[in-house]
Chain A
Amino acid sequence: MAIEDREVTVVVNGQERSAAVEPRKLLVHYLRDDLGLTGTHIGCDTSQCGACSIMVNGEAVKSCTMLAVQAEGSEITTVEGLGSIEHLHPMQQSFWEEHGLQCGYCTPGVIMAMLGLLKENPNPSEEEIREGMEGVICRCTGYQFIVSAVQKAAKLMAEAEEQKEETLVANLVREGTHNG
């Protein structure tokens, strides 16, 4: 029985991308091998380590436990879609400042999982962060500096959010004056 390849189209990091793949192709292989997005890594084969974590439609998921065909039509964010080397995302910046990485292999997955955590809980306690890391494994850091990084990122992101709101209000006020 010949099984046809399927055209899988997704929006990755804001860009529409597609490739024809076997139905059995894992999403992580699709991203890495077909789309060349090698920032997402594979660390295990039992869905334990979370190195392959990405965002699918705004939720953190393990891309080794999802088929590419299941992702058809979805919006995906990988670590490449956060910040650039020149302009790091607050989460990346915090990992840098707090020494939240050593070999850097688990890091993209941990970052994506922690963004998922902050989405649910923008101001987590240390305990909540440690629990939130149940789905990731880091063999290098002993986790402590990752916890510090996530705490810092939460703060930076809250501040950025506040600033955004202030700007928005200021703009509205300005517009109001203009219109009035």
Chain B
Amino acid sequence: MANVIGASLKRKEDPRLLTGNGRFSDDIQLPGMLHAVILRSPHAHAKIKKIHAEEALKSQGVVAVYTGKDLEGKIGPVPSSWLVPDANLKEAPQYPLAIDYVRYVGDGVALIIAEDRYVARDALDLIEVEYEVLPAVVHQKEAMQEGVPLVHGDIENNIALHWKAGEVADEIINDAEVVVRESFYVQRVFPSPLETRAAIGQYDAGSGELTLWCTSQNPHIHRMVLSDVLGISEAKLRVIAPDMGGGFGGKIGVYPDEALVGYAARDLKRPVKWIEQRSEHFTASNAGRDEIIDVELAGKRDGTLLAIRVKNTANLGAYLSTMGPGVATIDFGLMITGAYDIPHASCETFGVYTNTTPTDAYRGAGKPEATYQIERIIDLYAREIGMDPIELRRKNFVRKEAFPYTNAQGLLYDSGDYEKPLEKALETLNYEELRQKQRELSKQGKLIGIGFSTYVELCGFGPSEVAGAIGFQGGVWENSTVRVHPSGKVTVYCGTSPHGQGHATTFGQVVAEKLGIPMDDIELVFSDTKSISMGWGTYGSRSTAVGGAAVSIAADRVVEKAKKIAAHELEASEEDIVFENGKFQVKGVPGQQRTFQEIAKSANMAWNLPEGMEPSLEAQSFFKPENFVYPFGTHAAVVEIDKDTGEIELKRYVCVDDVGRVINPLTAEGQVHGGIAQGVGQALWEGAVYSKDGQLLSGTLMDYALPKARFFPRIESAFTETPSPVNPLGAKGVGETGTTASIAAVMNAVMDALKPYNVKDIEMPLTSEKVWRAIQDGEGN
């Protein structure tokens, strides 16, 4: 099958999902299965004085109740997997159930196991906990002040980490012709996959093997961490991620809950299922963002940018999550110059403990925040010097000729042509005419805004040496095995773990193209630590660039061996064999050929192989990329604001993304759309709201607004293709571009619309009331 790469094929994974034949966690039923619920703290900060579980234990159908004290010494704390170096990192142990203190609303207090989910839920009400409520701290800047409550008694000023990268001398800022300063808050949001988290444990007492089905974007990381937490050999712990209803970063984390389920299944020697409730999800699952970003951008009046100095104060919540420490530091701090050639840059990050749910990587992880601050401040800079924001961007873009380009923070951007998507987006928008129309409508009193985000992001995690150097507790290379069966049908094993991205299709396309066989002949296996030797999972838009590359290399190796066998059988030299459309052909001798299927059989039968060749046709590759990949593009939003109410209507959304080589344009576009919806969601509707004492007020889907269909216009999406030199596919990553770009695009559009009132910032989400107030308080009113 030629030209499969680049084709908009329908997805292999869909027919089963469309007919109710998917197998999600809660669909799994095992004989004798018990049901778990977790009693969670209603207080943001309290001392646990006593837990009365007797009533619950007496209740019919209740099998066990565990408290933190019961598990002391039997199950270890769940560690963070990103120990950022040179940051004075202070990790407080997070025990799967709180032992003496609860530190956020949602902190686990007791685990209840019962015969049935209804009985388990009833038992939750029968447990009485005596708390001594303590003062709580919610806001990160407040948490750093003297005299405020300490989340962990021994960690001063609640500072979990203090990290710096780059240096900008004071003189550069002080002597600059123009300095624009602003403080942005990229608010806390919830990843909110439509399927909440879940875990099911099953222990085989005979073999001593524990199988854990759980909602994980990275089952091998779960296995690595949990084997340690539970004290079980990695060889005896099998982690399977079943079909998963989205993740968006919220299912990267190794959570206490999964450890508890594994422990209980082993302890009780019966299968145990735990399904998180939606309202539970809001407090018990890691949130995203929550960073206060103070920016100074300095340069010349002609638009030449010289330096950017950033301080990020990040709310890490009550404990360090799996990737939490890396988000506001490495992911954010090294990308603050964005797509611009700014010679000087520095970032100082404080990671702060508060009495809130931990934060972790959420779609884009640090890059949406980095993009947000640079794209917002660059618009303000343009306004300050009276230049069109597009012109200012063009003036400072990293030039096409400069790639590979080292940014001020030392990252090497692999490839790029930033003008190309910008031009295409402007053309689609009909930019000049649109500005003209904006001016005309403004005369009629209408508030139209046009906003841009010309982003670049870092993804495709990543070179292992770099991972080590930045304290990431993982190798982040990828692994794939391409196994050819005697019939010529193929099974492909992959270390990444898709949950909606469609990798069975896109990786299948890579294999179909390489092996010249039909898509239907290819099966893909993901997300099972017993089938797949190792892998690092799906997050950070790494799957295609790293995992897809591993698949591609393994497939090449299969062809290489098959070619040797074909040459041997056809009595030709290997150099004379051409492999095309699934056939090994002797150059210039028509009819002298073997099909891929014939060679598959030969290899597996091994009746007549070249001297010294091992039987079978199978290849494994371990791909360790030499660098990250850097997708880029231009997103533009057009909004209209209702002057009387502050309501915002998103009128148009245009995006041109360059994600390197596109394997499947249809699924790639789907990723972009979804990403945009989440970014626009952050800009306009989504936002966690805590009361001063740490109660989550936006704790249900009645209060927390996930974007709905009628909030959007038709997105006008396109791609340009600038291949990456980093991997054999030339692919970058597409999963996060939409989110990374769109937050700033929409905000810039709204700020543009509010320019007549000289409004410079409004805290997200842009509720109509906030916009209305900004208009009321604005100039000219």
Contacts and interface: CB of A to CB of B under 8 A. Distances in A.
A139 B10 contact: no
B677 interface: yes
Contacts of A44: 278, 700-701
A160 interface: no
A48 B282 CA distance: 15
Interface string A69-113: 000000000111011110010001001110101111111100100
Nearest to A108: B20
A4 interface: no
A96 B677 contact: no
Interface string B168-192: 0000000000000000000000001
Nearest to A143: B709
Interface stretch (B68-76, B95-103, B241-249): B241-249
25 contacts: A22-B118, A39-B21, A39-B22, A43-B194, A46-B701, A48-B701, A49-B701, A83-B19, A96-B11, A96-B18, A97-B10, A102-B501, A103-B193, A103-B246, A103-B500, A105-B193, A107-B18, A108-B18, A131-B710, A137-B706, A139-B674, A139-B706, A140-B246, A140-B674, A142-B673
B710 A130 contact: yes
A60 interface: no
Given A103-B193, A141-B670, A84 B19 contact: yes
B278 A46 contact: yes
B27 to A, nearest CB: 4
Contact of A95 (B14, B27, B676, B677): B14
B502 A79 contact: no
B279 interface: yes
A32 interface: yes
A178 interface: no
B278 A43 contact: yes
A53 to B, nearest CB: 12
Contacts of A29: 117
A104 B245 contact: yes
Contacts of B24: 38, 41, 105
Interface string B367-400: 0000000000000000000000000000000000
B721 to A, nearest CB: 20
B19 A99 contact: no
Given A45-B700, A46-B702, A88-B19, A105 B27 contact: no
Nearest to B664: A99
B649 interface: no
Interface of B: 10-11, 13-24, 26-27, 29, 117-118, 192-196, 243-246, 248, 277-279, 499-502, 666-667, 669-671, 673-678, 700-702, 706-710, 712, 714-715, 738
Nearest to B706: A137
A63 interface: no
Contacts of A126: 714
Contacts of B27: 32, 38
Interface of A: 22, 24-25, 29, 32-33, 36-46, 48-49, 51, 78-80, 82-85, 88, 92, 95-97, 99, 101-108, 111, 126-127, 129-131, 133-134, 136-147
Contacts of B245: 41, 43, 103-106
B10 A49 contact: no
Contact of A38 (B20, B670, B671, B715): B20
Contacts of B196: 43
Contacts of A41: 24, 26, 194-195, 245
B706 A145 contact: no
Nearest to B20: A39
Contacts of A145: 669-670, 673
Nearest to A91: B18
Q: Taking each of B20, B22, B710, which has the highest tally of chain A beta carbons within 10 Å of its own beta carbon?
A: B20
A141 B270 CA distance: 38
